[in-house]
Amino acid sequence: MPNLVLIGGGHSHAIALKLFGLNPIPGINLTLINDVEQTPYSGMLPGHVAGFYSYEQTHIDLSSLSKFAHAKLLIDRAIGLNLEQNQVICHHHSSISFDYLSIDIGSTPTTISVPGAKEYAIPAKPVPQFLVAWSKLLDIAKNNPEQSLKIAIVGGGAGGVELALNMYHRLGIEIGAANNYQINLIHRGNKLLAGHNNWISQRLEKILLKRGIKIYLQETVEEVLPDKIRCQSGLTLESDYTFWVTQAHAPDWLKKSGLATNSQGFILVKDTLQSVSHPHIFAAGDIATMVNYDRPKAGVFAVRQGKPLLKNWHRIIAGEPLKPYIPQKKYLALIGTGDKSAIASWGSIGWQSPLLWYLKDYIDRKFMNRFSNLNTLISNN
Ligand SMILES: Cc1cc2nc3c(=O)[nH]c(=O)nc-3n(C[C@H](O)[C@H](O)[C@H](O)COP(=O)(O)OP(=O)(O)OC[C@H]3O[C@@H](n4cnc5c(N)ncnc54)[C@H](O)[C@@H]3O)c2cc1C
């Protein structure tokens, strides 16, 4: 029986596992290795920070999902690959052998080169550690409402901006007096959300400023200290909590494994989502870079890759030719503004309305509903 091993329960694998469970392929040993049992859904993460959604509403239970897909779940962290022996090297368990491998482990913000960032900054990913830090911050803020609180968010992409707006909302609810806290957003580029049209950047700038969130553009953080950050320009900002939401980065072990990667360490894949160097290895989501298509690292692409990925697992195991997947060029981005309103970005078009929040909420809940009744489906089988 061929062993199909999946590393990472990210968005693509979650979709593929759900579909696998609905249409199991007999005669395959399926194993999922993930470092946590609950995997976060990125679309609702800022809403969870704002307090609009609970932890359960924003996390997929990989234990039920694996059971549903007849897969073995191993809670562990992959730390390397032995490609000569086709094995995944795990942090705690002994190595896992595979015939086919699929990798969907997401990405983390780049911090390594900035002195002090590793010690004092809180990266937005891995999400579990981020949520622990956020929850501690909230507790301290609630218990000390008189004390001033300075937060720095480094990175002015969609993630950084959404976090700033949603943190602002939550702090307003938890400690009320808006004057006691200050959020500063620091961005290296000359506009926020560089991948979107100018209207989107300007609109978000306006919203942030209206809420008293200060924006520092064209500033590169060169040092993080326990109570402040220093930028190359000489700008120094006080910061009790520095959140790091910069460009996506891949773990070093992938580069060392012998898989073909780009200069940032992302796995290079063909249109079939197979590694360009090792065709029995697939990759999807943030960790994969399609050589023929330049697309942003966003959950929306990871979700879309789930179904074609599953179909190509089927095909490779059946000895059939694999089919290419072409990612959409334009995509609808719905950016929550932390007040149950949202901004839609579609190519050169931008629009803001509370109605868009309801659309975003509907889409996100619909996605999560796919994973909400797994235990009932398992017991009915
Ligand atoms: C604050 C923030 C807000 C965002 N909001 C949006 C949004 O609204 N819309 C959008 O499209 N994108 C958004 N993104 C981007 C989005 O988070 C990613 O593009 C998306 O999560 C990628 O999904 P994925 O399937 O690649 O992996 P992930 O969803 O990151 O999942 C990877 C899984 O693998 C596990 N894992 C990681 N390493 C290992 C290992 N070595 N061994 C075993 N398991 C491992 C992780 O714990 C996790 O469970 C946001 C990002 C941030 C930081």
Q: Are strands 121-123 and 241-244 parallel, antiparallel or unpaired?
A: parallel
Asked whether 12 lines ligand 1 (CB < 6 A), one says: yes
Tell me what the mean pLDDT of segment 262-278 comes to. 97
Tell me what the mean pLDDT of segment 91-97 comes to. 97
- Give the integer Cα–Cα distance in Å for 331 and 369: 22
Q: What is the pLDDT of residue 275?
A: 98
Q: Does pLDDT of 149 surpass 90?
A: yes
Task: Confirm whether 3-107+250-330+364-380 and 117-244 share one CATH topology.
Answer: yes
Beta bridge partners, 82, equal: 87
What separation in Å is there between the alpha carbon of 229 and the centre of ligand 1? 26
Q: Does pLDDT of 336 surpass 60?
A: yes
What separation in Å is there between the alpha carbon of 163 and the centre of ligand 1? 15
Q: What is the pLDDT of residue 145?
A: 81
Helix, strand, coil percentages in the chain from 3-state DSSP, rounded to 5 = 35, 25, 40
Domain 3-107+250-330+364-380: give its CATH superfamily: FAD/NAD(P)-binding domain (3.50.50.60)
Asked whether 186 lines ligand 1 (CB < 6 A), one says: no
Q: For the whole model, what pTM was predicted?
A: 0.95
Q: Are 126 and 29 in contact (CB under 8 A)?
A: no
Model confidence pLDDT, tens digit, residues 24-51? 878 899 999 999 999 999 999 999 999 9
Q: What is the pLDDT of residue 176?
A: 76
Q: Does pLDDT of 273 surpass 80?
A: yes
Q: Which atom of ligand 1 is nearest to the CA of 297?
A: 19
Asked whether 254 lines ligand 1 (CB < 6 A), one says: no
Q: What is the pLDDT of residue 179?
A: 62
Domain 117-244: give its CATH superfamily: FAD/NAD(P)-binding domain (3.50.50.60)
Extents of the domains making up the chain: 3-107+250-330+364-380, 117-244
Asked whether 161 lines ligand 1 (CB < 6 A), one says: no
What separation in Å is there between the alpha carbon of 114 and the centre of ligand 1? 22
What separation in Å is there between the alpha carbon of 91 and the centre of ligand 1? 20
Asked whether 162 lines ligand 1 (CB < 6 A), one says: yes
Retrieve residue 379's tokens: 């017991």
Q: Does pLDDT of 129 surpass 80?
A: yes
Residue whose CA is closest, atom 52 of ligand 1? 159
Q: Are 20 and 28 in contact (CB under 8 A)?
A: no
Model confidence pLDDT, tens digit, residues 238-247? 999 999 999 8
Burial class (CB in 10 A: 0-12, 13-18, 19+), 380: exposed
Tell me what the mean pLDDT of segment 171-187 comes to. 84
